[in-house]
């Protein structure tokens, strides 16, 4: 049975839109993943990274997947690597960033995998695109819709 999952899409280096489009194309090629819907992309200032980091393009995508959460995350990381992402420091500029936000209504805490994404409810650049495609999806820990979480941000 397929599970609904949501991912964040981001890029602030190189051809930002092209990198996100290629990531979505690669997701569509993975057996067991269907890309249901993709938000529009929004430009946002870099958050938490080094001073002077370039602006991001951010979006969100809804997936239907037969993969477990850990296997889905492995595929996201593999796509990042395929597109040239190299990890050096937290919140550094990146060619592509694919974050698993929600996996059904599951709460998962494993080494290297925390779902729901622990910071998603604090980040406008995550919630705005998510609200566009899934305003009524409920955060499984906070019990609030994505629309309510966005409205609660100052």
Domains of the chain: 3-152 (3.30.70.560)
| pLDDT for position 53 | 82
Alpha-carbon gap, residue 142 to 145, rounded angstroms: 9
**pLDDT tens track for 122-149:** 999 999 999 999 999 999 999 999 999 9
| Longest CA–CA separation in the chain, Å | 45
| pLDDT for position 46 | 83
Half-sphere exposure at residue 40, Cβ-oriented, CA atoms within 13 angstroms: 5
Q: List 103's β-bridge partners, or say none.
A: 5
pTM of the model as a whole: 0.94
Which sequence positions are flagged as catalytic?
Answer: 85, 94, 97, 99
Alpha-carbon gap, residue 54 to 35, rounded angstroms: 28
Q: What pLDDT band is residue 91 in, cutting at 50, 70 and 90?
A: low
């Amino acid at each position: 049975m397929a599970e609904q999952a949501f991912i964040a899409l981001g890029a602030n280096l190189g051809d930002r839109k092209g990198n996100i489009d290629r990531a979505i194309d690669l997701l569509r090629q993975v057996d067991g993943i269907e890309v249901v819907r993709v938000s529009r992309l929004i430009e946002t200032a870099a958050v938490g990274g080094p001073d002077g980091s370039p602006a991001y393009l951010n979006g969100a995508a809804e997936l239907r997947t037969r993969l477990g959460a850990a296997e889905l995350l492995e595929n996201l990381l593999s796509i990042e690597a395929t597109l040239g992402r190299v990890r050096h420091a937290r919140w550094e500029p990146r060619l592509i960033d694919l974050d698993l936000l929600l996996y059904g209504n599951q709460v998962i805490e494993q080494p290297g995998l925390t779902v729901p994404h622990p910071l998603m409810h604090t980040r406008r650049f995550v919630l705005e695109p998510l609200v566009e495609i899934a305003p009524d999806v409920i955060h499984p820990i906070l019990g609030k819709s994505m629309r309510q979480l966005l409205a609660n941000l100052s």
